[in-house]
Structure formats: C-alpha cells, structure tokens
C-alpha cells in the first residue's frame, strides 16, 4: 500500500514533472497519411512506465508527519517516529496540465470535523520503499512540516464559497433597526390583570380541594367493598384452577413422553440422512477459468500468496491475503484474509485453514487468484484474528 509521509525539513523535488501532460504539434496540412499517423501516435502511450503515478492511486494515500528531517532517498517501511496526519483528497491542476498542489484532509474522526489544506506540489519528494523488495513503483510522498504546522495551516477555500458579507452584519446595526415604544400604560394594565387572576385562582383552588375530599371519601368506601368481593371470587377461582391444572399436568406428561420417543427416533434418522447428503454435496475444487490452471497452496511461494486477491464461489472479490501462518516453520497452516473496509480502513482480519483455499494461476505464470467456498458475509461473521 502506498503512503504519504510529512516530515520536519522542507524538501523540494521535481515531482511535478511526473504529472505534466505531453504536448505535440499538429501535422502539416500537406503531410502524407503515414507521416500523419506517426505524428498522431506521438500523442498517446501504450503502457505505463514503472515510475509513473496514476491519480486514482495518488488520491486517498495516508499522510504522515515526523519532527526529524527525512534526508534519505528510501526507507524500509513506515518509521516509528512518523505520525498519521490525514490523507490526500484531491489534486489541483493548472490550465497547462501541471500539478500545482494537493488537498489534504487533516484532523477529525471518520470524516467528521476534518479540515482541508492545500500543499504545494514542489514541496513533495518521492521516496522509495525498501520494504517492498523488487517493486520500484512503491514509494512514500515525503514533505515538510510538524503536526502542529498542519493543524494550524489555513483551511483551503473552494471558488465561490466565501462568506456572504450580508450574513455577518454587525450586531449594533441590527439593534439600530429596532424602535422603542412607551410601555408604562401597558405595564399597569398587566399588573391589574395579574392581581385579578391570582384572586380567581385562589377561589377556584379552594373549591376544587373541597370537591376532591368528598370524592376521595366516596371512592375509598366503594374500593373497600369491591376489594372484599374480588377476594372471595379469587379464592374460588384459585381452587378450581388448581384442580384443572393437576389434571392437565398428568395428561401433558403422558403425551410428552410419547412425543419425545417419536422425536428421538425421527432425529436419528434425519441425522443419518444429513450426514450422507453432506458427504455427497461436499464442495470440489473450483473449475479454473480459461487461461488459468489449478495449483496447490504449497506449490506457491509465500511472497506470491501474500497480497493475493480472494474471491467467493461467484467470482466476487471479497478481500486479500495479508499474512500466512506456518506450521512447523515450513507448511502453510492458515491464511489471514482482510475482509471489508475501504482504502484499508475498517478491514477485518480472519484466519482460514489452508485446505479451504482453492488457488488458480495464469498459465503464463502471472496472475494468482484465491477462491474460498464462503461468502463475504460468512467471513465477516468469523472471529477476528488477533496477531500473536
């Protein structure tokens, strides 16, 4: 996985050239057809160079910062003093096709509270990653600045998003728009109304208290009589229910004993049948696609298996192998598959037995695909693998 690293020392490199567009002149009007074809072909490329960078890979790369300058041209993986600061969100181009700057999302949590700052492209240095031996295209993007310098950097504003001055008018102007009116007469009238309301409320409360006392006394007498009658009825119902329950328990016990015996016999027969069906329906090796051949896990090197993409039985991509667990130091016992997530965030590692992996390799020795007889949901439901 490619990463973006930010360090303390400002390092300027010629990284912009990797993104410049190739400009060609149009062929002369009187050129011959063959000459026109050759000139036109100079405007196109047929394959990617090993040191070229695609914007789709560039966007989403993680951003790190370190307080010590990064002077080397290569490092073996992420260093201990590098701290995650954010990720690249977008690339800013000039009208002539040159990369001017990159937009970096910093701070926040799960996209909430993030700020976006623009970093000039000429402050970025491409540093090789020695941890991926044999892969010259793997690199870090190293640039300058402490974590605090990025947290305090001005937020990047898109065109047309400046605040409307009309929305931020001073408070004293708003206050000046209001008018004062005399309130003395209105206050006197409100005082009189309040006094009368208090008197009316007192009289009403007194009458309500008298009515409530009389009603409560009558309700208490009625409740006493009702409770006594309900107690007598309940006692009679309990006796009858006890007799009925005893008879039902005897009948239920006899029926349950018979049903248990029948169920046990049926379950034994179903179990035998299920075992036979399971043996017959056991999955077989996935038929390889055209141009591929099936190979055994132990015939593939650990370097080839690590990072290989994993597919379900319907050829849907569900993850990739991130680690191999060896038995006796020589035989692959389990493979750790990273399932789900997005851009490396939220992935769940699960361990799958090596004998559950079906491996197919391109006949020309190139692409390797791993198949498992499980769905993505079944893998995500498995226990999370904890690295020992």
DSSP 160-191: T-SPPGGGG--HHHHHHT------HHHHHHHH
Reference 313, options 378, 374, 381; nearest CA is 374
User: All domains of the chain, ordered by start, with CATH?
Assistant: 3-151 (2.30.30.240), 292-380 (2.30.30.240)
Contact 5, 70 (CB under 8 A): yes
Residue showing tokens 């700052």: 117
Distance CA 251, CA 147 (A): 78
Please count the CA atoms within 13 angstroms of the CA of 32 that sit on its side-chain side.
2
Residue showing tokens 């569900």: 318
Q: Which residues contact 121 (CB under 8 A, 6 or more apart)?
A: 15, 16, 19, 99, 100, 101, 102
Please count the CA atoms within 13 angstroms of the CA of 133 that sit on its side-chain side.
2
**DSSP state letters, 268-286:** HHHHHHHHHHHHHT---PP
Q: Is 351 left (phi over 0), alpha (psi -120 to 50) or beta?
A: beta
Contact 22, 83 (CB under 8 A): no
Distance CA 12, CA 123 (A): 5
Q: Which residues contact 341 (CB under 8 A, 6 or more apart)?
A: 347, 348
> What pLDDT sits at residue 350?
92
Residue 328 three-state SS: coil
Distance CA 107, CA 116 (A): 9
H helices of the chain, in order, are 33-41, 55-58, 147-151, 171-176, 184-280, 302-305, 376-380
Reference 291, options 374, 369, 373, 354; nearest CA is 369
Q: Are strands 62-65 and 3-7 parallel, antiparallel or unpaired?
A: parallel
Distance CA 341, CA 317 (A): 13
Distance CA 335, CA 305 (A): 9
> What pLDDT sits at residue 284?
43
Reference 120, options 97, 143, 148; nearest CA is 143
Contact 319, 336 (CB under 8 A): no
Q: Which residues of the chain have pLDDT under 70?
A: 1-41, 69, 108-111, 133-137, 144-145, 160-184, 272, 274-288, 342-344
Tokens of 341: 């997530």
Reference 73, options 140, 4, 14; nearest CA is 140
> What pLDDT sits at residue 344?
64
> What pLDDT sits at residue 15?
42
């Amino acid at each position: 996985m490619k990463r973006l690293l930010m360090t303390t020392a400002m390092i300027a490199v010629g990284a912009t050239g990797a993104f410049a567009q190739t400009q060609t002149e149009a062929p002369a009007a009187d050129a011959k057809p063959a000459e026109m074809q050759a000139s036109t072909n100079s405007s196109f490329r047929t394959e990617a160079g090993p040191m070229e960078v695609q914007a789709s890979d560039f966007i989403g790369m993680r951003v790190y910062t370190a307080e010590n300058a990064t002077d080397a041209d290569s490092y073996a993986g992420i260093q201990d003093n590098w701290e995650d600061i954010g990720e690249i969100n977008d690339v800013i181009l000039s009208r002539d096709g040159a990369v001017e700057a990159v937009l970096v999302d910093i701070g926040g949590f799960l996209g909430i509270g993030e700020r976006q700052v623009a970093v000039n492209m000429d402050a970025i240095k491409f540093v090789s990653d020695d941890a991926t031996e044999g892969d010259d295209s793997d690199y870090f993007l190293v640039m300058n600045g402490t974590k605090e310098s990025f947290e305090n950097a001005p937020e990047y504003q898109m065109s047309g998003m400046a605040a409307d001055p009309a929305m931020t008018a001073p408070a004293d102007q708003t206050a000046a728009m209001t008018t004062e009116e005399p309130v003395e007469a209105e206050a006197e009238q409100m005082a009189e109304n309040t006094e009368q309301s208090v008197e009316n409320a007192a009289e009403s409360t007194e009458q309500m208290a008298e009515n409530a006392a009389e009603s409560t006394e009558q309700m208490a007498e009625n409740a006493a009589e009702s409770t006594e009658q309900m107690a007598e009825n309940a006692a009679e119902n309990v006796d009858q229910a006890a007799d009925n329950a005893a008879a039902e328990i005897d009948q239920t016990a006899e029926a349950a004993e018979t049903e248990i015996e029948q169920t046990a016999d049926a379950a034994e027969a179903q179990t035998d049948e299920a075992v036979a069906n399971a043996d017959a329906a056991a999955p077989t090796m996935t038929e390889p696609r055209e141009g591929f051949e099936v190979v055994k896990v132990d015939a593939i090197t650990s370097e080839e298996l690590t990072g290989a993409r994993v597919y379900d039985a319907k050829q849907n991509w569900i993850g990739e192998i991130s680690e191999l667990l060896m038995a006796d130091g020589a035989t692959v016992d389990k493979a750790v598959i990273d399932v789900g997530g997005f851009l490396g965030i939220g992935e769940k590692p699960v361990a799958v037995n090596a004998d559950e992996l079906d491996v197919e390799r391109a006949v020309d020795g190139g692409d390797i695909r791993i198949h498992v007889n499980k769905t993505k949901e079944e893998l995500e439901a498995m226990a999370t693998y904890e690295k020992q």
